[in-house]
Structure formats: structure tokens, C-alpha cells
A and B are shown apart, each in its own frame.
Chain A
Amino acid sequence: MSWLDRLRQGLSKTRQQFQDAAGDLGTDLQETLTRLDSIEDLEYALIAADVGRAATEEILADIRKSGKSNLQDALMEALTLQLEPDRRRAQFRQLGFTPDARRTVVDPRGHVVMVVGVNGVGKTTTIAKLGEYYLGRGKSVMFAAGDTFRAAAGAQLGVWGERLGIPVVGGPEGGDPAAVAYDAAAARAARGTDLLFVDTAGRLHTKHNLMEELKKVRRVIDKADPGEPADVWLVLDAVTGQNGLAQAKKFHEATPLTGVIVTKLDGTAKGGILIPIVRELGVPIKFIGVGEGAHDLQPFDPQAFVRALFDVEVPRD
């Protein structure tokens, strides 16, 4: 199955939900725009996808400005633009050019990627998937079991490491996560392994001490291996509502993010909170998670995402 089919499959329920919500809108933009009811319904449809009020208003404004007569086209274009953090690429799209979707190969900037996020979003599982993804691209990979807090978190990553044949650097439960990260980063540099993914304990962004701990983990990695981690990826659960924006902001403040990964898009949740996140932080979405297995990870492409959302033809890969 190509990644596209998987994406489409993973998003099919999302799409259905979206259509259910937006279903009776009709597709004629001009007609819809003149009927207040429909605009309200459209607003509801976006809100039902967890897009949030501010981004919804912006999207509606874009649609009004677009001059398009087809509501679906206009909506799709507006959403795609919202998901494009690169201003130049966004302008390109606005002019009708389509950035090459085949270029959606995600390469980390350096050698160490720190994975952060609130509790239970899928950090550890995503690290396993990333390991699988980069192994498949010929890279050598290591894991650091930096969650020393949650019961059996180290064991969880250990099982994945064993399954995938990826070495895991760990520490004692209840131990210092920074020490684990330091050891792992030093070991990676010494061994010349291509990539190290550092798991961190889930933490709510409102907890000052835990966010400080995260900063420390980052500093310590830089000490062991100057310039790293070159990437910090935030994992976000697609089912998250408006709190997702606060999460992204707070994590961004603590450890500047270079990417976002959205998990659990195989469910019915629409992940609409991505739109305000990209809009406000300008941080690109790297991957989407579409299942619990090691293969269930796909690079993110805004256009494919939005198109899949509306079940229209997606360009070949």
C-alpha cells in the first residue's frame, strides 16, 4: 500500500465526519455566502473539526475574498494555506503553483531529535515509528528512554527497541532523565550513529518544574554533543481540542519546536487544532500517526491532508 493510500485510509473517517458536518451546505459559494445560515453552518463545521474560533474566522474571511464560486474549492484552498507555515510556499500556492508533494521526505536537521508532549499523546510509540521509518531509509538509529518517571515507560521503549533491532540507552526508574539523555547523546556521538531519538516523560505544559526539567534535558544534550538536539518535535494527539494550541505554545517557549507530529489520525478526530498551531507558531507538521504499529507513520503534506479530508483527487506520488 502506498503512503497515499494509507493516508487516505487513515483519514477516511475524518473525511466522513467532516462531510457529515458540512454536508448540507451546498457547494455554490456565492449562494452560500448570501445565506447567513450556511455561513453559520460552515463555521460550525470548522469548529466541529477543532479548528477553533479565531482560525475559523480567518478561513471564512479567506473564502469570502477568494472570489471562487465553488465552496469546497475555496474551503480547501483556505485550509491548505493555513497549514503552510512557509510564507513563500504559501504565496506560491496562492498564485496557483503547487509545491512538489514528492519532496515530502522528512530529514532531521542534525543527529538528535528530542520528542516532547503532554501525557499519553503517543510520544513513545511515535519514536518507535520514527526508528522504523529511518531504518527503512538506510539510517542507523538509537533510542534514549528518557521517561524515567512513568511506570514501565523504559520497558515500553525497550520492547520496541528489541522488536526493531534498535539499541536503547536507559536509566533506572525514578532516575534523572537528563543523565539518560546525556549518556545517550554521548554514546551516539562516539558510535557515529546517524540518529538518536530521545523519549521524554509526558508532562502538562502548565507544570513549571517539569518544563524546566525539559529545558535541562535539552541543555545536557547540547553539552554532550554541541549543537544538538537540532530538532525538537512536539507530539500532538489528533483528538485534542483547543488546549492543543496552549500546549504547542508552552512547549515552544520551553524548548523551541522544529516540528509537530500528529498522532491517532486513524480515529475519527479531525486534528483541526493543527491549523491555529501552524498559523500561530509557524512550526511545520512533519508526520502523522495513523495506527499503533511501527509502520503507521506518514510524512505530512498539507495539500494531501486537506484533499484527503474532502475526498478529492490527490496528485500521484
Chain B
Amino acid sequence: MFEALGNKLQDILDRVGRESKLTEKQVKEAMREIRMALLEADVNFTVAKDFVARVTEKAVGQEVQGSLTAGQTVVKLVHDELIQTLGGEAKQPTLSNEGNVFFLVGLQGAGKTTSAGKLAAHYKSKGRRVLLVAADTQRPAARDQLEVLARQVGVPVLKVNDHETPQETKRRLDEFLKTDFRDLVIVDTAGRLQIDEALMDQLAALQTELQPTETLLVVDAMTGQEALNVARVFDERVHLSGLIITKMDGDARGGAALSARSVTGKPIYFAGVSEKLTGLEPFYPDRVAGRILGMGDVLGLIERAQQADLKAMEVKKPGDFDLEDLLVQLRQIRKMGPLGDLLKLIPGMSRALPEGFNIDEKQLQRIDAMISSMTIKERRNPKIIDGRRRKRIAAGSGSTVQDINRLLKMHEQMKEMMKVLQRLSGPGGLGKGMKPPRMPPMPPGMKR
């Protein structure tokens, strides 16, 4: 749907040529694209404006670094600045030995209750004694929801009663803690609009009573321009100490994270990445920066590759990439998890793939079968695969000659793509970790 920023920029900067300094005109043109890309990633427009102004200042007159092209220099500047704006390093709340109270707030449906459950599971696994407090007396069955999660995690839950005053809640909590020692209390509150004065007052009153050590705003990654106002007002009313971004497992670019972070200045501690209790990860600014820019989550990709214990492949020249390499890589990749997810992590991939692209695992099995039906010689040198061989391979793999034709054509296209990718992320790279991708892009025509 969106053209990745990298593509657009590359186009502009291809025109720029190989001068050694970035001129004002080049930077201006590039910055317009960056602003638009940020807006399309749902970064709030005032945040985008400020951001672009900051980068422009840094970029004009900047020496084009070492082996980078002008385009890469700009992308790197933008990428670095994004990481900084998102908080630089991953950060986690600091907990004391006892008396930790987390207070979860946010709009309706943002993911507070689910995140409360996830945090309980996370800290329990780190040896904490967690208590969940179900303070949403508003939404039907909200307390039941938290109770179910508490049971799944294996921690107790204290349910706030209807019409209970904050003082009463505090008293009941203290009483509970006297009989059952807990060093981390996680409070789930009802969702509310930041402009709902009455409900915001109630929230502030409960906060005053409970004196949380962390007040965490839960923000849905799919949020648009309003993320800024929401975060600003919540911060004004209940003084946030940190943020949690949920539903990062979708394909939203996540500009809301940037808006919320830059208006509050508070660290983003966690990212929600599934509906399950295990779906909570630390928030890595560098990864999300790439995602907002449409450059792919390079580090996430590398990490998954490491988890899958991929054998390092010899880095070949794209021209030498043969069908045997494809088969080996295909099998390795399939160990890494759902391919659709992985693909999105690859830099430049958003450009290479047709819109609505989706991968069918069965297709991959068929490719595997087709290549497996070839001799090693054929795999190493696909040029020798003539009509007769095609027929044989088709029969051997239960496919048609057209399928074989398509596979061979796709392999050619992949080699082309790899050349492009290698050029884009070539020596000097776009940032740390941006090595030439070892993974072949998937061929077009593999839609479901």
C-alpha cells in the first residue's frame, strides 16, 4: 500500500548523483518524501514537521560519508535521528525489592487488560510475586477477563467492587498484602477517552491513592494522528512514567509510538506482539525506526535467523546464486517461522513485493519438490534445463512444465533482485547490521 521510504528516496537520490556534499536542494526534496513517509506511517504531523526540521539542519552541508551514496547518507541520518527520538536504547522499568505498583491506563480497547496479564507472566517468570488488581468496574466482564488471565498466569487477583471509593480500594489492597506478600502489584484500569473529564478525574483519584511506581500508557500501534493528543493529555493528567505499544504483530507502521514518545518524552518499555500471554517483548527503538521508515526490521530478522540456528551461508555474488542455494535457503528460512512475517522484516522487501502479496506454505513445498527432482548438475547450472529435462522434473515432482518454467524464471528474477538489494545495502551499509541479505526474496507470482 505504501511505498517504502527507501524506494522513494533512492529515486530522488539516484538523480542527485555522486557529489560529496548534500546540497540544500537535495535535502529539501528528500525531506518532503521523508515527511510524507512519516505521515503515512501515522507519525503525528507536528512531530513529523519538527523531526524533518531537525534532520534538515543536520543534513545540509553534511559530507557524504565514506562509501555511502548521498541517498544512503540521508537515510542513515534519518534512521539515526528516528532511533534517538524513539529513545535510543531499549529501556526497562527499574523495580525495587518491594512496593512496586504498576498502573495501566489508556483509551478503550488499547490492550490494557491483556498487557496486565502479560506483564504478570513476564515478571512472575523473573521471580516476582505478582498481584493483579482488576479496577475496571465499567466494562461488562472486564474483571472476569483479568481473572481468567490471572488464573492462566498463576497469580492472585484482587477485584475492585462496583462503586468502591479509591480509599476503600487502597484499604483492601493493603489488607491483602498483609496476609499475602507481593512485591509487584499491577493495576488494570478501565479504558477512557482522554477528554472525558469525569473519568480522568476518577483515574487521577485512584492513582493518588495507590501511589504507583510506574504509570504506563498503553497505546495501540494502529493509532493514527490522535496518538499525540491522547499521550499528551494522559501525561498531563496522570504523569506517565512509560509507554507500552500493543498490537505490533500487525502491519501498522507504528508511527504512534514516535508521536507518543516524543510528546511525553517517556520511554517505551514494551511492545505487545500477540494476543497470547507470552506476546510481550522489550521495545527496541532501532527495529521500530526501520519499520516506520519502511526499511524492514533488519535486526529482528537477524535475531530470528540466529534463533533458527541458521548455518552461515557463503555470501555469493548474486550472479552465482543457483537453485541448490535456493533450496538450502528455502529450507532454512522455513525453520524460522511464518514466512509472511519474515518477509516484512527484510529491508527493501516492501518494494520488491506486489501489493497484497502473501505466501502459501504449500507453494514452498512445491518449489522444494521441484528443485529436489533436479540433478545436482541442473541445480548448479539451471541453464542446461531444456525442454526434455523440464518434462522429467515436472513428472518427478508432480507438477507441470509451466510450473517449472515459472520457477526458472523466478530464479532469474531473484538474482536480479539480489543485485539491487546488494547495491542498496552495499558496503558501509545503512546502519549497523545491514549486511547484504542472505535471504533470497520470494518470487512474484506466489500469491495465495
A118, A156, A267: which contacts B145 (Cβ < 8 A)? A156
Contact of B275 among A50, A149, A237, A249 (CB under 8 A): A149
Partner-binding segment picked from B14-22, B246-254, B329-337, B395-403: B246-254
B37 CB to closest chain A CB (Å) equals 10
Interface string of B248-264 (1 = CB under 8 A from A): 01111101100000000
Q: How far is the CB of A250 from chain B (nearest CB, A)?
A: 8
Binds B, one of A26-34, A98-106, A119-127, A188-196: A119-127
Q: Is the CB of A48 within 8 A of B225?
A: yes
The reply to whether B45 and A120 contact each other, CB–CB distance below 8 Å, is no
Stretch at the interface among B80-88, B133-141, B162-170, B404-412: B133-141
In the assembly, what is the distance between CA of A221 and CA of B408, in Å? 43
**Interface of chain A: mostly helix, strand, loop or mixed:** loop
Point out the residue from A155, A158, A242, A249 that lies within 8 Å of B224, measured CB to CB: A242
The B interface, classified by DSSP as helix, strand, loop or mixed, is loop
CB-defined A-B contacts under 8 Å, sample of 20: A47-B45, A49-B225, A50-B226, A119-B111, A120-B110, A152-B145, A155-B140, A155-B144, A207-B249, A239-B227, A241-B42, A242-B2, A242-B41, A243-B222, A243-B253, A244-B222, A244-B224, A264-B108, A270-B226, A292-B139
* Residue A269 at the chain B interface, CB threshold 8 Å: yes
* A-B residue pair count with CB separations less than 8 angstroms: 155
| Residue of B whose beta carbon sits closest to that of A52 | B40
Contact B193 A267 (CB under 8 A): yes
Interface members, chain A 1-58 (any B CB < 8 Å): 13, 17, 44, 47-50, 52-53
Q: Given A118-B250, A152-B141, A243-B250, check contact A44 B109 (CB 8 Å).
A: no
**B1 and A246 contacting across the interface, CB-CB below 8 Å:** yes
Question: Interface readout for B211-244 with A: 1 if CB under 8 Å, 0 if not?
Answer: 0000000001011111101100000000000000
Mark out the residues of chain A between 198 and 235 whose CB falls within 8 Å of any chain B CB in the assembled complex.
202, 204-208
**Is there an interface contact between A240 and B250, defined as CB atoms closer than 8 Å?**
no
Q: Does B194 lie at the interface of the complex (its beta carbon under 8 Å from any beta carbon of A)? A: yes
* A residues neighboring B (CB under 8 Å): 13, 17, 44, 47-50, 52-53, 118-122, 149-153, 155-156, 158-160, 163, 173, 202, 204-208, 237, 239-247, 249, 253, 264, 266-270, 272-273, 292
Q: Which A residues are in CB contact (< 8 Å) with B40?
A: 52-53, 242
Contact B222 A118 (CB under 8 A): yes
| Bound Cα distance from A163 to B249, whole angstroms | 35
Q: Is B148 an interface residue (CB 8 A)?
A: yes
**Bound complex: CA of A245 vs CA of B351, how far in Å?**
19
Chain B residues within an 8 Å CB radius of A52: 40
Q: What bracket does the count of chain B residues touching chain A fall in? A: 35 or more
Decide: A160 and B140 in contact? CB cutoff 8 A.
Answer: yes
5 additional A-B residue pairs with CB within 8 Å, beyond A47-B45, A50-B42, A292-B139:
A207-B249, A239-B223, A242-B1, A247-B222, A268-B195
User: B62: CB under 8 A from chain A?
Assistant: no
Give the complex CA separation of A284 and B356 in angstroms.
Answer: 22
Question: Which residue of chain A has its CB nearest to the CB of B190?
Answer: A292
Give 3 nearest A-B pairs by CB, closest first.
A241-B224, A120-B109, A241-B42
Residue with the highest number of chain B CB atoms closer than 10 Å, among A120, A246, A267:
A120
- Kindly state the separation between the CA atoms of A243 and B247 in the bound complex, as whole angstroms: 12
